[in-house]
């Protein structure tokens, strides 16, 4: 075989190997960034800071965004969404404490993966995190974005709790006697097309007449005209959360 062909073959092999390595490196970096972000959240969740500070304030933008949300989704009130954020953050903290990421109702896959990384990080440390006497001080909307394919509502939640970490039964961070003040963000998302949600949601039936609902975007049953609040409600999910302070 001519030497130039041998050189060409080796060159092609080299290019293929480099490309494979670059792809693997890219995936590794992306995974590391996600894990690092979740671990940072895990560290902050039980930092035990701000114990002596007054409650954090939340945005006062409800009058600006509430009419837009209720115009776009008249079957779900703003108060219902606010309750989802309020109950959602409590469920999230309970899920981290109990190490059961699937216990958060209406959680997206993104949120479940976020919780799994945090829980795995604590498990590696052989530590437990606790949130006792959780008291919500305020819930406020920070932003609302909607288009033809999706919608998202960003809430901030101010709360107080006894937040602390234990290892072998001993407190290693935080306090189980002095309250900690924290400010969280919670994002609710809605897929207008329903493409990323569980198939069972799409194959729902009218709660009034039992007829199949072919289009989850429909606000009324095409057979009896009943409203489809249960269907629309299910495709709102808690997509992620973040500790702000």
Residue 138, pLDDT above cutoff 90: yes
Between CA 120 and CA 114 the distance in angstroms is 10
> Above pLDDT 70, what percent of the chain?
63
pLDDT of residue 40: 47
Q: How confident is the model at residue 41 (pLDDT cuts 50, 70, 90)?
A: low
**3-class SS of residue 171:** strand
The upper half-sphere exposure of residue 142, i.e. CA atoms within 13 Å in the direction of its Cβ, equals 16
pLDDT tens, residue by residue, 71-84: 888 777 888 889 99
Domains of the chain: 46-243 (3.10.450.240)
Are 113 and 35 a contacting pair, CB within 8 Å?
no
* Count of positions (residues) in the chain: 245
pLDDT of residue 1: 57
* Choice among 4-13, 195-204, 218-227 with the minimum mean pLDDT: 195-204
pLDDT of residue 121: 86
| Token pair belonging to 3 | 């030497």
* Choice among 27-36, 37-46, 169-178 with the minimum mean pLDDT: 27-36
Looking up tokens 């590794």 gives 28
Looking at residue 105, the DSSP 8-state letter turns out to be T
Which has the higher per-residue pLDDT, 216 or 125?
125
When the pLDDT of each residue in the chain is averaged and rounded to a whole number, the result is: 75
| Token pair belonging to 204 | 């729902």
Which has the higher per-residue pLDDT, 47 or 52?
52
CA quadruple 46, 47, 48, 50: dihedral sign = negative
pLDDT of residue 48: 46
Cβ-count burial 107-126 (b if 16+ within 10 Å, e if not) = bbeebbebbebbbbbbeeee
């Amino acid at each position: 075989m001519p030497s130039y062909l041998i050189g060409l073959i080796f060159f092609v092999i080299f290019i293929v190997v480099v490309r494979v390595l670059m792809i693997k490196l890219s995936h590794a970096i992306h995974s590391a960034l996600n894990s690092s972000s979740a671990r940072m959240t895990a560290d902050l969740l039980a930092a035990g800071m701000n114990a002596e500070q007054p409650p954090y304030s939340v945005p006062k933008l409800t009058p600006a965004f509430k009419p837009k949300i209720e115009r776009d989704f008249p079957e779900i009130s703003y108060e219902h969404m606010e309750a989802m954020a309020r109950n959602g953050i409590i469920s999230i903290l309970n899920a981290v404490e109990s190490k059961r990421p699937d216990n958060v109702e209406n959680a997206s896959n993104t949120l479940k993966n976020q919780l799994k990384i945090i829980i795995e990080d604590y498990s590696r440390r052989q530590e437990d995190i606790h949130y006792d006497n959780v008291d919500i001080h305020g819930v406020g909307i920070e932003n609302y974005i909607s288009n033809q394919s999706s919608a998202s509502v960003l809430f901030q939640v101010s709360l107080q709790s006894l937040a602390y970490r234990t290892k072998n039964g001993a407190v290693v961070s935080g306090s189980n006697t002095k309250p900690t003040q924290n400010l969280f963000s919670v994002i609710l998302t809605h897929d207008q097309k329903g493409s990323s949600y569980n198939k069972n949601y799409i194959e729902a039936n009218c709660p009034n007449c039992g007829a199949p609902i072919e289009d989850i975007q429909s606000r009324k049953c095409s057979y009896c005209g009943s409203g489809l609040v249960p269907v629309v409600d299910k495709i709102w999910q808690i997509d992620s959360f973040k500790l702000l302070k």
